[in-house]
Amino acid sequence: MRIRVAVIGGGSWGTTVAHLAAHTAPTVLWARRSDLAEELNSLHTNERYLPGYALNPDLWATDSLREAVDGADVVVMGVPSQGFRSALEAVAEHVRAWVPILSLTKGLELSSGLRMTQIVNQVLPGHPAAILTGPNLAKEILAGDAAAAVIATPDQVVAQHLQRIFHQQLFRVYVNPDVVGCEIAGALKNVIAIAAGMADGLGAGDNTKAAVITRGLAEMSRLGEAMGGQFATFSGLAGMGDLMATCMSPHSRNRSVGDRLGQGHTIEEVIEEMNMVAEGVKTSKVVMDLAGEYEVEMPISKEVFAVCHEGATAADAYRGLIRDQDGGVEHPTLSYR
C-alpha cells in the first residue's frame, strides 16, 4: 500500500513541499480558498504565491480539510506559527491514530513560546512529531536548483519513512534526532535575517553583513544549547545553511522585511505591503522572552525586537556600524557579543 500524504496550507512552501511529495506518493494539498484549489487542479499553478512556476500535475488540491486528512498516512503542516495550533486542532478532528505530523513551520508560538513539535505533542499526543527544515527557498526548488534539507525527529524509523517520501535527485534529505536544535535554529535564523536585511537597506558593506550573520549564528547556538539543542546542529544545514540562505537571498521574506526597514519604512508599512508571513517579526518577541528565561545574551536579536516592536529604527540599531554623512562613526549600538 502506498503512503498517502496530506499537506495543510497552500502558501509558497506548503505548495512546494506538496509538489515534491507528489513525485513519490499520492499527495493532496489543503487550501483554505476554493479558487486556489481549483487553480491547482485545473492549471497546476499557484500564481498568488509562486507566479510563473508549473506544479506537479499529479498533485491534487481541495478546500475540504476532512477530504484532505481522512485516510492520510502523513500530515504535513505548512501554516504560519501563530495559526499552527488552531489548524492542528481542526486536523485532529479527522486524522487517524498514530499518523506522523511533519511541521514545515519555522517559528515559535507567541502566547506560549512553544516550538511546533511541542504543540503537536499537546494537541495530538501519541502522534510522532517531526520537522522538515534547512536552506530551502521555494522558488529555487521549483526552478530545479539542487537543495538539501533535514528531517528531525527522535524516532529514526519515522525519520527514514519520511526521508523516502521527500528525498529526490535534486532535493537531498538528511535525518537528525536533534529536534530542539533544528527548531530553534529555524526560528532564530528569521530574526537574524531581518538584521542582515537592515544592513542591505542601510547600504552597509559586506563586511558588516558577514559580521552580523556570524555573530547571529553565535546567538542562535547559545540559546539553542541552553534549551537542550546540540552544538553541531547549528553548524549544519538546519543552522548555518538555513541562516546563510535566508540572510542572502532576494527571495527571503525576512531579509526583505529588514531591507525595507533599512530603507526607512516602518514595520507597519512593511507588513501591509506583504502577502506572506515573515515569521521573524513575531518570533523576535518570543526570542527575547526565552533569552531572559535562559539568561542568554542576544544583542542582535534585541535590536531586531526593538525595531519591530518598540519603535526603534534600523539606523538606531546600526548606529556606530555604518558611516554617517560626515564620515565619522559613533559608539556601536548593534553589539557582537
pLDDT in tens, the chain (337 residues): 489 999 999 999 999 999 999 999 999 999 999 999 999 999 999 999 999 999 999 999 999 999 999 999 999 999 999 999 999 999 999 999 999 999 999 999 999 999 999 999 999 999 999 999 999 999 999 999 999 999 999 999 999 999 999 999 999 999 999 999 999 999 999 999 999 999 999 999 899 999 999 999 999 999 999 999 999 999 999 999 999 999 999 999 999 999 999 999 999 999 888 877 788 899 999 999 999 999 999 999 999 999 999 999 999 999 866 655 444 444 456 665 5
**Does 106 participate in catalysis according to the annotation?**
no
Per annotation, catalytic residue among 106, 139, 189, 282: 189
Of 334, 336, 302, 335, whose CA–CA distance to 202 is shortest?
A: 334
Q: Which residue carries 512556476 as its cell?
A: 53
φ, ψ (nearest 5 deg) of residue 85: -65, -50
pLDDT for residue 320: 63
End-to-end, the C-alpha distance of the chain in Å comes to 54
**How many other C-beta atoms lie within 10 A of the C-beta of residue 110?**
14
3-class secondary structure, 167: coil
Sheet containing 5-8: give its strands across: 60-62, 27-30, 5-8, 74-77, 101-103, 129-133, 147-152, 171-176
Measure the CA–CA gap between 274 and 263, rounded to whole angstroms: 16
Region of 320 please: left (phi>0), alpha (psi -120 to 50) or beta: left
pLDDT for residue 227: 97
The sign of the dihedral angle between the CA atoms of 84, 87, 89, 91 is: negative
Fold of 180-318: N-(1-d-carboxylethyl)-l-norvaline Dehydrogenase; domain 2 (1.10.1040)
pLDDT for residue 337: 58
Q: Which CATH architecture has domain 5-177?
A: 3-Layer(aba) Sandwich (3.40)
pLDDT for residue 167: 95
> Buried b vs exposed e over 56-78: b needs ≥16 C-beta within 10 Å?
beebbbbbebeebbeebbbbbbb
Measure the CA–CA gap between 319 and 89, rounded to whole angstroms: 45
- Kindly report the length of the chain: 337
Measure the CA–CA gap between 44 and 142, rounded to whole angstroms: 13
Domain ranges of the chain: 5-177, 180-318
Measure the CA–CA gap between 113 and 289, rounded to whole angstroms: 8
pLDDT for residue 322: 61
Ranges of H-type helices in 236-298: 242-248, 253-262, 267-273, 279-294
